[in-house]
Amino acid sequence: GESVGLHLPTLSVQEGDNSIINCAYSNSASDYFIWYKQESGKGPQFIIDIRSNMDKRQGQRVTVLLNKTVKHLSLQIAATQPGDSAVYFCAETYTGNQFYFGTGTSLTVIP
């Protein structure tokens, strides 16, 4: 999973497999969480978000799970494709205006 200030974690998966990327967030008061995808040379791209009153939210091929008890967030990508190769990171906010970002996990999809 992600940790602030450490080497970027990496995850390699076979094309077609499911991927799970984890994130530990820091503040139990955080009430809004977002997953971003960042490809090389581009800005972060919104994938999916979830509010603290939910445990799970699904999008197209992606699911976010929120465990407030242990302050853990995960992103599941179904049937991972080569185009999913990127850095993924989570963001949390509790101030309403300031987001705090993890350092990210680098996902490599092996064809």
Partner 1 sequence: NAGVTQTPKFQVLKTGQSMTLQCAQDMNHNSMYWYRQDPGMGLRLIYYSASEGTTDKGEVPNGYNVSRLNKREFSLRLESAAPSQTSVYFCASSDLFAGSPLHFGNGTRLTVT
Identity at 61, one-letter amino acid code: R
Which DSSP symbol is given to 8?
P
Residue nearer to partner 1 on the CB measure, 78 or 101: 101
Angle at 52 between CA 46 and CA 55, to 5 degrees: 85
Residue nearer to partner 1 on the CB measure, 10 or 18: 10
Instruction: Note whether 7 binds partner 1 by CB under 8 A.
Output: yes
Residue 55 burial (CB count, 10 A)? 11
Q: Which of 21, 34, 86, 107 binds partner 1 (CB under 8 A)?
A: 34
Identity at 66, one-letter amino acid code: L
Residue nearer to partner 1 on the CB measure, 62 or 69: 62
Instruction: Note whether 5 binds partner 1 by CB under 8 A.
Output: yes
Q: Which of 23, 17, 15, 16 is nearest to 105 (CA)?
A: 23
CA distance 47 to 6: 24
Instruction: Note whether 44 binds partner 1 by CB under 8 A.
Output: yes
Piece in contact with partner 1 (CB under 8 A), picked from 10-18, 35-43, 59-67, 74-82: 35-43
- Residues making contact with partner 1 (CB under 8 A): 4-8, 34, 36, 41-46, 49, 89, 91, 93, 96-104
